Amino acid sequence: MVFAHDTEAALAAAAALVNTGGRTEEKLPDLAALDEFFTAYKWTGRRAHTPAELRSVWELRPRLRRVWEAGEDEVVEIVNELLRESNALPQLVRHDGWPYHLHATPSDAPLATRMAVEAAMALVDVVREGQLDRLRVCEFPDCGNVVVDLTKNRSKRFCDAGCGNRAAVNAYRARKAAARH
Ligand SMILES: [Zn+2]
Ligand SMILES: [Zn+2]
């Protein structure tokens, strides 16, 4: 494990959130899709189930995406801003069968605020441990999905949406084509 369990889970959730706003397809088009995302990434706490809630989650995505693209100083600015504007207050809590972990917002804070702060708290760890290079953009042409590389040898180049397979198929075809000439 590269980071603490809750940090790794939060990074995965943040990346997944960024990737819902893909280049070709909106994967959080409505509240039902947000419900599914909420459950899939084991979010807990209060929900508003309003269009405003969905909109604020959409608005968080480009700010988080910058973290995958920006240099360290800008990442720090974004992280500090997210923590400041949410009045983050770290507290150890235990709930839903999880061992003690950090929450920095009350469970009745708006969903987008909780998402922002959870991502920011995880990013604090990433920056402090000098591991920002583990946050990368998928190398498959025109994919644009963000990737969290938690491999030992930092070898993850593609996102989990099938780009690794597509790249392998392309490489295979290229080798076959080259062999024919
Ligand atoms: Zn929790
Ligand atoms: Zn990809």
If residue 91 lies in a helix (H) or strand (E), which one and from where to where? Answer: strand 91-93
**Beta pairing class for 91-93 and 101-103:** antiparallel
What would the pLDDT profile of 135-161 be if each residue is shown by its tens digit?
A: 999 999 999 999 999 999 999 999 998
User: Is the pLDDT score of 25 beyond 90?
Assistant: no
pLDDT at 138: 97
* High-pLDDT (> 90) share of the chain, %: 86
Ligand nearest to the CA of 15: 2
Ligand nearest to the CA of 159: 2
Residue 94 CA to ligand 1 center (angstroms) comes to 7
Residue 158 CA to ligand 2 center (angstroms) comes to 5
Residue 88 CA to ligand 2 center (angstroms) comes to 32
- φ/ψ bin of 105: left (φ > 0), alpha (ψ from -120 to 50), beta (otherwise): beta
Counting runs of H as helices and runs of E as strands, what totals does the chain give? 6, 4
What would the pLDDT profile of 47-91 be if each residue is shown by its tens digit?
A: 999 999 999 999 999 999 999 999 999 999 999 999 999 999 999
Residue 165 CA to ligand 1 center (angstroms) comes to 34
